[in-house]
Amino acid sequence: MAAKNPGLSQNNRLIIGISGASGVAYGVRALELLKAAGVETHLVMTKAAEMTLGYETGLKAKDVEKLAHTRYRIEDIGAGIASGSFKTMGMIVAPCSIRTMSEIATGVTSSLLTRAADVVLKERRRLVLMVRETPLHTGHLRSMTQLSEMGAIIAPPVPGLYAQPASVDELVTQTVARALDLFDLDLPDTKRWGEDLKQGRRSPVRQPRRKPAGK
């Protein structure tokens, strides 16, 4: 059975997938931002994601579950999000491991997470994959090309330093907010060039120290 948190709006539904790649903070922050925005979130995490959650954040799966409207077990292939008749805005996988990406690219899905992503693609809905890997070999790049041709958006969590984040927390927030922009969600946490950020502003650059003459 899926764990539900009632009381949120039923107007918007977004599936959140969290795989076992490093960077689970992106998925957690996505849930936090979407909850604040009143978006109904449907969460599915891999077993590896639950392990990484403990390594990187100290959180437990139940802590993250509370942020979602509905949480599904990874093996629950009979869940609503496994069917195209279950209407959603689409899905974001944050972070997206190479294994998860590869399953989605081939259509050979082995879990609810990759099945839900496959459904999003076949229904021509928005699928955003925050692929977390570097460097990339040719096989990775070919899979990304294939996914792009299928309609997915590859959005690696590349930090936007133009926003001049003062902390890792701000960096994560801006990166996730920009990814959620792809679902036409205008979140107040997003810093925008030419609006919140002044064009032409630059961070001060430290000049290299010069050795005193004669030394």
The verdict on residue 205 lying in a domain is: no
Contact 111, 82 (CB under 8 A): no
The verdict on residue 55 lying in a domain is: yes
The verdict on residue 21 lying in a domain is: yes
The verdict on residue 209 lying in a domain is: no
The verdict on residue 191 lying in a domain is: no
Domain count, the chain: 1
Whole-angstrom Cα distance, residue 108 to residue 197? 43
Neighbouring C-alpha atoms within 13 Å toward the C-beta of 183: 26
The verdict on residue 63 lying in a domain is: yes
Amino acid type, 100: T
Whole-angstrom Cα distance, residue 176 to residue 2? 25
H-helix segments, the chain: 24-36, 47-56, 61-65, 98-106, 112-122, 138-150, 168-180
pLDDT band at 207; cut points 50, 70, 90: very low
Give the residue numbers spanning the domain of 80. Answer: 12-183
pTM exceeds cut of 0.75:
yes
Amino acid 8: pLDDT: 42
**Sign of the alpha-carbon dihedral angle for 21, 23, 28, 30:** negative
Query: How many helices and strands, by DSSP H and E, does the chain display?
Result: 7, 7
Lowest mean pLDDT among 8-12, 72-76, 132-136: 8-12
- Write the CATH number for 97: 3.40.50.1950
Q: Residue 162 gets which letter from DSSP?
A: G
Query: How crowded is residue 73: how many other Cβ atoms within 10 Å of its Cβ?
Result: 14
47: phi then psi, degrees, rounded to nearest 5 = -65, -40
Backbone Cα Rg of the chain: 19
Whole-angstrom Cα distance, residue 157 to residue 171? 10
Tens of pLDDT along 38-84? 999 999 999 999 999 999 999 999 999 999 999 999 999 999 999 99
The verdict on residue 215 lying in a domain is: no
Look-up of token digits 């809905």: 125
For residue 186 the two structure tokens come to 């205008």
For all residues of the chain together, what is the average pLDDT? Answer: 90
Higher pLDDT, 75 or 215: 75
Cα separations (Å) of 150 from 122, 167, 212? Answer: 9, 36, 61
The verdict on residue 144 lying in a domain is: yes
Whole-angstrom Cα distance, residue 33 to residue 124? 25
